[in-house]
Copies of this chain bind each other. A is one copy, B any other.
Amino acid sequence: MSSSSPTPFAKLPAPPYYIVAFSSCRTDGDNGYGNMADAMVELASRQPGYLGVESARGDDGFGITNSYWADEESIKAWKAVVSHAAAQRLGRERWYEEYQVRIARVERAYGFDR
């Protein structure tokens, strides 16, 4: 990664906190996905309890977005935000062949930085 890029790693507090692990396979074509994805990250980042997000997608269309939240209540509140609910509907109608979501409580964490 270029040293001039912003880091793709979320800066997180010490556990406990929550992770929403979102795995997805995209349909072909953009169909407005890119703009909506950017808008949803911006909107999520202003939600109470939002801690950060990390995302990667390969050339095969399979991607993982792990978002981090203070608690379960924050996750449920974000899921119910009106424009997010609209994006979820378009996700099922247009953008995703399949997605799987797992909600988990982070109990420990560690890392390495060169």
A→B interface (CB under 8 Å)? 1, 5, 8-10, 12, 15, 18-19, 21, 23, 25, 54-64, 66, 72, 91-92, 96-114
Contact = CB atoms under 8 A, between A and B. Distances in A.
The secondary-structure label for the interface of chain A is strand
A71 to B, nearest CB: 12
Nearest to A62: B8
A55 B80 CA distance: 28
Given A19-B21, A60-B1, A103 B99 contact: no
Given A101-B111, A111-B98, A112-B98, A64 B54 contact: yes
Contacts of A8: 23, 25, 60, 62
